[in-house]
Structure formats: C-alpha cells, structure tokens
Chain A
C-alpha cells in the first residue's frame, strides 16, 4: 500500500459525459501528479500540482482540468468524454524531488 488513495476504482460512462476522479496523497506530500495510461501503453504525464498551485503541465487536453485543494487532495475533471479517453488514470504524490508513490488507479471506460 503506497498510501495514495484514488476513487473510484472503476468508472463506466457514456460519450459526452463528465466525470471527476479523486486522489488523496500520502500524508505530508505536497506534490500531486496525474497520469493517463491507455491499454498496453506507457505513462502520459498530464499535470502536477504543488501545495495547491500548478507546477508542470504535460499533454493534458483542454477538455481535462485538475485542481488541488487546501487539504491537498486533488481532483481530475474529464468532460465531453470520447471513446479514446478510456484508460487507466493514475495519481501519484511525492515529497519534493523524491520518488513518486502511485495510487491504484481509476479505470475509466467510455462507451
């Protein structure tokens, strides 16, 4: 158990819908990262937050947005969902430049 929690574990929705994925980092970690992993693919970095502020941005679509709240949990919002958005979404947290600890992921299926 990495100490990073993600909810929900599985999510099935239809095209055009909007969903919110939630992440709670390890206690004390100020950085939260979001990744997308499509089937049999590598990790695509989406975005990083540090203590509530955006710090790095990767290949995140305009339909996607994220935020980190004062209690340090983070949410990833995906809107106008398309079939190609079906993937495993990981959240990770870290303490400064140390290793990232990953949550179990949320598996999103768009039908």
Chain B
C-alpha cells in the first residue's frame, strides 16, 4: 500500500528566509502524481504545486519549487523568500496511476509552517 510521510510536524523560520519541507512516499508504481497543498488559518485547502513522476524537470510556481528525487521517493517543497502569508499547514499527497476513474489521493500528516516577522 502506498504511504506518504512528512517527518517534520512543525517548522518555523524568519520572514524572507528559505525553507524546505520534506516528504517521502512509498510505492511500487512507476507513473504517478505528487501534490503539495497548503491550508492557512482560514482552513481553505489550496493547491501549491503538482508534479508528474514521468517528468524529470522539477515543478516550479513562483517562489515555490520542488526537489523530486524519484529513485529516493522524495518530494520536498522549497519556499524561497518566505512571507507571513505562507504560514499554514502544508500537506504532501500522492496519486497512483488512475484505474477505473479512481483518483484517490494518499495524504501525509502535514507540516505546520510558521513564518516569523
């Protein structure tokens, strides 16, 4: 069974610093999808970034980028120039190749990120 592990329950950094959140997963699949979601204090779930396993290039969205290491089954999220608005819970999620329209995500437990002024 696939599992997703986020080993850092909580992290805090100063504003404008760079922070990296770790995520590892376990799967025997070759093609799959990985996601990072953030949940700010408003509790709204917001997609941060998405990566397809068949793509070697790491996904980037403005200040957010990933380090995808397929062989190591690692999918870390780097936030550059962190801002107070980045304070949130961050969840890593895994989707195996869809079969019969089953698009279920396997979720990590989350990392609470606090950006200090």
Binds B, one of A10-18, A19-27, A76-84, A86-94: A86-94
Q: Is the Cβ of B43 less than 8 Å from the Cβ of A105?
A: yes
* Chain B residues numbered 8-65 whose CB sits less than 8 Å from any CB in chain A: 33, 35, 43-47, 50
The one of B45, B97, B98 that contacts A102, using a Cβ cutoff of 8 Å:
B45
Given A48-B103, A48-B104, A56-B102, also A42-B91 (CB < 8 A): yes
Q: Is the Cβ of B91 less than 8 Å from the Cβ of A43?
A: yes
The one of B98, B100, B109 that contacts A42, using a Cβ cutoff of 8 Å:
B109
B68 contacts the other chain (Cβ, under 8 Å)?
A: no
Given A42-B108, A43-B91, also A31-B43 (CB < 8 A): no
A64 contacts the other chain (Cβ, under 8 Å)?
A: no
Give B50's nearest chain A residue, CB to CB.
A99
Give the bracket for the number of chain A residues in contact with chain B.
20 to 34
Q: Is the Cβ of B104 less than 8 Å from the Cβ of A45?
A: yes
The one of A92, A96, A104 that contacts B98, using a Cβ cutoff of 8 Å:
A96
CB-defined contacts of B103 to chain A, threshold 8 Å:
31, 33, 48, 50, 55-56, 94, 96-97, 100
CB-defined contacts of B50 to chain A, threshold 8 Å:
98-99
CB-defined contacts of A99 to chain B, threshold 8 Å:
35, 47, 50
Q: What is the minimal beta-carbon distance from A62 to any residue of chain B, in angstroms?
A: 20
* Chain B residues numbered 95-117 whose CB sits less than 8 Å from any CB in chain A: 95, 97-98, 100-105, 107-110
Q: Is the Cβ of B45 less than 8 Å from the Cβ of A55?
A: no
Q: Is the Cβ of B107 less than 8 Å from the Cβ of A43?
A: yes
Q: What is the minimal beta-carbon distance from A110 to any residue of chain B, in angstroms?
A: 18
The one of A58, A88, A90, A101 that contacts B47, using a Cβ cutoff of 8 Å:
A101
